[in-house]
Amino acid sequence: MSHWIKMNKGLVDSEKIVKLAHLLEIDTQKTIGAVFEFWVWMDSITPNGKGINLSFNYIDKKINIPNFSEKMREIGWISGEEWAIKLPNFEEHNGSTAKRRSLTAKRVASHRK
């Protein structure tokens, strides 16, 4: 895996971030930081967002926010069961294929200038 992940500037005002912040009872800046940390971690341990062998309790402790994984499930960013966690649409934004698409788009945009 490469040493970066895609982060969309629209994340700041996204419906899911606002809802997650509300559910966790923390501000959006802390929510974005936690989500970023989570996606960086997941990008380092799974190539496709499937079959992640972790407990929800461990995720909460790693991210240092109680009920983080439960609330991520409520908004649809985590699915599956403990020890078999899935990340819906993971490959759309993470993994080598998504990163390759992003770099290609950046290269094409730069070439057009």
Residue 33: both structure tokens together: 């930081």
pTM of the model: 0.82
| Predicted confidence (pLDDT) per residue in 11-50, tens digit | 889 999 999 999 999 999 999 999 999 999 999 999 999 9
Of the pLDDT bands very low, low, confident and very high (cuts 50, 70, 90), residue 1 is very low
Sequence length of the chain is 113
* % the chain with pLDDT above 90: 68
Three-state secondary-structure class, residue 81: strand
Give residue 6's pLDDT. 79
